């Protein structure tokens, strides 16, 4: 027996290599400060956990839920978008419950593209976007996110051949890995671009709750006509520290929502009802936990920036997400620098090249340890005298 050619074609999981290096170092007894991960370090808020406990004890939760999810969760998602973004969503036709947003991101090309059709992906970008291109057997091209354009795509510079051929484009703001955010003017231009070239837009809003300096991230669906051209995917993993719960949703264009629902009809029989009930509590309950979480990440960001300044590391403050995108010193590639500080400072980071060609020259740092450990990590790197 052998793997199918499709499985053989899947990209190597970028983070698996990083985890392997960190695990080996820890097994050697070293005190590794791991800033390379993207896994929230805080617990799920207690009121959400209690909602899960109560629902799990209810025998009605032990049955299959409706194939397309509980109506009350779809209603909660619609209410959430109305309360948070003043966007009206039809819960029955414009919401698809997802087994985590990652599943939806991988499924979407299979839903709306035919083999060999073209999709456009950001560079640098979330590596798992590539999994969907392979499983759907579609082509992809990338568009660069450059610092001089605030890590936003320059639609004018995308080749006409790509604009004509592309059927689907992925965007992600607040951005992983750069921490950049987008404004309403950009999303309005995106809708115009999509309509002009008949390109469907998927906005990955995984870090939608996490904006700094008093600025709340903007939803793509706040742009006029956004639902005509695309959908947005939201996960509870980051906003409510529910990464292991695997629950999210897509909202927007009803044709795309129906396509996602249809493929999931054949893959799943919906999420465990108790998790859906807990997700309702997360979306409709007290949001103070979200405010506290954002404040925590902002304090960590500020501690990181202050520590970098002390060692002479010239970095830009991320505007959102729980990542910082830091330029590396001369004389290294991003992977060489990541390996060097792991070996000599016991600090793990994600090499920028793992996020695409335009990620070279950077590392990604997660704000997912305490302020004290973030400061200690930068102090360790400072002792290597790389920024003098």
Q: CB–CB of 311/379 below 8 Å?
A: yes
What tokens were used for 187? 């999303």
What average pLDDT does range 169-191 have in this prediction? 98
For 342-373, write each residue's pLDDT tens digit.
Answer: 999 999 999 999 999 999 999 999 999 999 99
Does 13 have pLDDT greater than 90?
no
CATH code, domain carrying 201 = 3.40.640.10
For 74-123, write each residue's pLDDT tens digit.
Answer: 999 999 999 999 999 999 999 999 999 999 999 999 999 999 999 999 99
Pair 176, 324 in one domain = no
Pair 264, 301 in one domain = no
What count of other Cβ atoms lies within 10 Å of the Cβ of residue 93? 14
CATH code, domain carrying 337 = 3.90.1150.10
Out of 263, 284, 305, a domain closes at: 284
Quick one: pLDDT band at residue 270, thresholds 50, 70, 90? confident
Does 15 have pLDDT greater than 80?
no
Residue 387 lies in a domain: no
Pair 377, 334 in one domain = yes
Q: CB–CB of 152/145 below 8 Å?
A: yes
Pair 108, 64 in one domain = yes
Pair 200, 131 in one domain = yes
| Residue 333 burial class via C-beta count within 10 angstroms: exposed 0-12, middle 13-18, buried 19 and up | middle
Q: Is 231 left (phi over 0), alpha (psi -120 to 50) or beta?
A: beta
Q: Could you list the residue range(s) of the whole structural domain that residue 190 is in?
A: 46-284
Pair 129, 175 in one domain = yes
Pair 85, 193 in one domain = yes
Does 185 have pLDDT greater than 80?
yes
Pair 164, 131 in one domain = yes
Residue 388 lies in a domain: no
First and final C-alpha spacing in the chain: 56
Pair 201, 276 in one domain = yes
Out of 232, 260, 284, a domain closes at: 284
Coil, strand, or helix at residue 167? strand
Quick one: pLDDT band at residue 379, thresholds 50, 70, 90? very high
Which range of 14-28, 166-180, 256-270 scores highest in mean pLDDT? It is: 166-180
Domain count, the chain: 2
Does 221 have pLDDT greater than 80?
yes
For 272-313, write each residue's pLDDT tens digit.
Answer: 999 999 999 999 999 999 999 999 999 999 999 999 999 999
What tokens were used for 125? 């970008």
Residue 374 lies in a domain: yes
Residue 315 lies in a domain: yes
Pair 198, 296 in one domain = no
């Amino acid at each position: 027996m052998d793997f199918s050619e499709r499985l053989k074609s899947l990209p190597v999981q970028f983070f698996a290599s990083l985890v392997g290096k960190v695990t080996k170092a820890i097994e050697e007894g070293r005190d590794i400060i791991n800033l390379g991960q993207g896994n929230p370090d805080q617990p799920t808020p207690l009121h959400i956990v209690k909602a899960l406990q109560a629902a799990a004890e209810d025998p009605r939760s032990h049955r299959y839920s409706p194939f397309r999810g509980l109506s009350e969760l779809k209603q909660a998602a619609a209410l959430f978008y109305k309360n948070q973004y003043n966007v009206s969503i039809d819960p029955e036709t414009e919401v698809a419950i997802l087994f985590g947003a990652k599943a939806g991101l991988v499924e979407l090309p299979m839903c709306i593209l035919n083999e060999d059709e073209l999709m456009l992906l950001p560079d640098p970008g979330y590596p798992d976007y590539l999994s969907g291109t392979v499983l759907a057997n579609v082509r992809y091209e990338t568009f660069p996110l450059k610092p001089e354009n605030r890590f936003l795509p320059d639609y004018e510079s995308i080749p006409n051949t790509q604009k004509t051929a592309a059927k689907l484009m992925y965007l992600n703001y607040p951005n992983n890995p750069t921490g950049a955010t987008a404004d309403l003017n950009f999303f309005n231009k995106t809708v115009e671009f999509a309509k002009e070239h008949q390109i469907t837009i998927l906005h990955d809003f995984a870090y939608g709750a996490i904006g700094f300096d008093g600025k709340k991230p903007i939803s793509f669906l706040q742009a006029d006509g956004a639902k005509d051209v695309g959908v947005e995917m939201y996960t509870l993993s980051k906003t409510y520290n529910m990464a292991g719960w695997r629950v999210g949703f897509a909202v927007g264009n009803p044709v795309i929502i129906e396509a996602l629902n249809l493929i999931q009809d054949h893959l799943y029989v919906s999420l465990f009802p108790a998790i859906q009930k807990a997700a309702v509590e997360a979306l409709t309950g007290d949001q103070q936990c979200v405010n506290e979480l954002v404040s925590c990440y902002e304090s960590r960001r500020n501690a990181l920036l202050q520590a970098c300044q002390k060692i002479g590391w010239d970095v830009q403050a991320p505007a959102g997400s729980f990542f910082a995108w830091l330029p590396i010193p001369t004389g290294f590639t991003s992977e060489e620098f990541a390996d060097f500080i792991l070996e000599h400072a016991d600090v793990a980071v994600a090499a920028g090249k793992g996020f695409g060609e335009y990620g070279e020259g950077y590392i990604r740092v997660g704000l997912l340890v305490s302020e004290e450990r973030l400061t200690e990590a930068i102090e360790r790197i400072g002792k290597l005298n790389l920024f003098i």
